[in-house]
Chain A
Amino acid sequence: MRFTASALLACGAALLGGCGHTPGYPPNPILRPTAVTDFATLYSQNCAACHGANGQNGPSIDLANPEYQALVDDATLRKWISGGMPGTEMPAFAESQGGMLTDAQVNALIAGMRRQWSRPDAFGGTAPPAYAQTAVGDPHRGEASYEAHCAICHAATHEQGHEQVTSPMYLALVGDQALRTIMIAGRPDIGQPDWRHDGPGGKAGVPLSTQDVDDIGTYLASLRTMGQQVTTGTSSAQAKSAAPAGR
């Protein structure tokens, strides 16, 4: 009897005090939402929906692309995250812009992305075209470049029309900078090439020059403007008939 009692006591003491792995031990106090600076938490709550669970395979650009990480500097990333990206659906996340994240959290996101997804020498020694467009491109030259480099996949009259990017509907939702970023960095997660491999057969060797990128960007922007001129009305019938006008 006495043995049983002392055994029970020992068990109780071991269960409750002895080991640190008690299943019921409560988790740490919940932080204020603005005090969360863990990258994984912040990313999965704020970015994963559009940019994909691990920075890839989302509908929006793949942040896990090392070339993207190398192309965009911290200040620019901070600008897009804080204030949103004009011409796209990327919303403003900073508190000062009506979002929910503090500056520290935005910085934590940037630092986390760098830590997780950037690689040294992402471009393999080749200098990519500049991230931001500085010179005004020529739309006519751009059209020619588009036909030469892009149309093999993104033909406006492509049989299945799967890869059409010249539709004003599409262009109205993707800003100039976003188009340019995809042209340069590509989207490896869905098998789309970077600027070095844009072209027939995706062969390396004839990379897009900065001027090509400028021109194609200007050409696409001009298609967007033409589309908008036709689709001033919001009726969907008009919007639909506008599609051919863009081409």
Chain B
Amino acid sequence: MSQEEQPLGGGGTQSASAPGSGDAARHDDPRIVSRRWLLFKAAVGLNGLVGIVLAVPVFRYLLAPWRKDSSYDSWVSLGPIDSFPMAETRLAFYKNPSANSWDGQTDNVACYVRHAGGNQFQVFAINCAHLGCPVRWFPQSQLFMCPCHGGVYYADGSRAAGPPERGLFTYNWKVVSGELHIDAGQMPTLSNSAKLVKISLGQGDCSCRA
């Protein structure tokens, strides 16, 4: 203890050896030195062990969002099917199923519903298959256009022009008691939606006309 209480302003290195000057030889005793090192290593080991034990919950916490796609997705309603006129493509909105109260406006997700005829629908993600920018539907020319890098898609979602490698992402859908439901919950990207319906490169073979 006395070694740590050095006088203020004194030359620390000089006074350090003063209290133990009588038995200086003991400091060099290899047995004592190795015992101190052993204790030191044990203390380091203890910290390492505790560190590993603590790291497990920390990593578990950090990786919490890394979950299976299915744990995020669920069926949400886009409203009655009457609100989607035949042979037209309409913008629809839903609240993301896994919303937090502090998400603000960010959990208002948009998608495009194309009523292809009869009870057949196509529900397209708003996100361009290239880099996720919001595509806009132009009913006059029956095209989706992306404002970022110029991806263009035909009415059936197939690629028409620009950098995307594939057609628009689609959601799985079903009609439940007159309402259109889609399986949604994630931002569609190549890593999760490519597994869904893949639309090949098209030539605009859509039968619809505005």
B85's nearest neighbour on chain A, judged by CB, is A98
**Bound complex: CA A3 to CA B47 (Å):** 61
Interface 1/0 per residue, A86-120 and B, CB below 8 Å: 00010110000010000000000000000000000
CB of A98 within 8 A of CB of B90, answer yes
For A91, list chain B residues within 8 Å (CB).
139-140
Per DSSP, are chain A's interface residues mostly helix, strand or loop, or mixed?
loop
Interface 1/0 per residue, A64-100 and B, CB below 8 Å: 0000000000000000000000000101100000100
The minimal Cβ–Cβ distance linking A46 to chain B, given in whole angstroms, is: 13
For B139, list chain A residues within 8 Å (CB).
91-92, 98
B136's nearest neighbour on chain A, judged by CB, is A100
**Bound complex: CA A91 to CA B88 (Å):** 13
- Judge if B89 is at the interface, Cβ distance under 8 Å: yes
**Bound complex: CA A92 to CA B91 (Å):** 14
**Bound complex: CA A98 to CA B88 (Å):** 8
For B91, list chain A residues within 8 Å (CB).
98
The minimal Cβ–Cβ distance linking B166 to chain A, given in whole angstroms, is: 25
Within 8 A of A (CB), among B62-94: 88-91
Interface-central residue, A89, A92, A98, by most chain B CB under 10 Å:
A98
CB of A98 within 8 A of CB of B89, answer yes
B83's nearest neighbour on chain A, judged by CB, is A96
A99's nearest neighbour on chain B, judged by CB, is B139
**Bound complex: CA A98 to CA B91 (Å):** 7
For B89, list chain A residues within 8 Å (CB).
98
B139's nearest neighbour on chain A, judged by CB, is A98
For B90, list chain A residues within 8 Å (CB).
98
**Bound complex: CA A89 to CA B137 (Å):** 17
For B140, list chain A residues within 8 Å (CB).
89, 91
**Bound complex: CA A13 to CA B92 (Å):** 51
Interface 1/0 per residue, B93-104 and A, CB below 8 Å: 000000000000
**Bound complex: CA A89 to CA B140 (Å):** 8
For A98, list chain B residues within 8 Å (CB).
88-91, 137, 139
The minimal Cβ–Cβ distance linking A219 to chain B, given in whole angstroms, is: 28
The minimal Cβ–Cβ distance linking A59 to chain B, given in whole angstroms, is: 15
Given contacts A89-B140, A98-B89, A98-B139, 5 further A-B contacts (CB under 8 A): A91-B139, A91-B140, A98-B88, A98-B90, A98-B91
Chain B residues proximal to chain A, CB less than 8 Å = 88-91, 137, 139-140
10 example contacts (A-B, Cβ-Cβ < 8 A) are as follows A89-B140, A91-B139, A91-B140, A92-B139, A98-B88, A98-B89, A98-B90, A98-B91, A98-B137, A98-B139
Which 9 residue pairs spanning A and B have beta carbons closest together? Answer: A91-B140, A98-B139, A98-B90, A98-B88, A91-B139, A98-B89, A89-B140, A92-B139, A98-B91
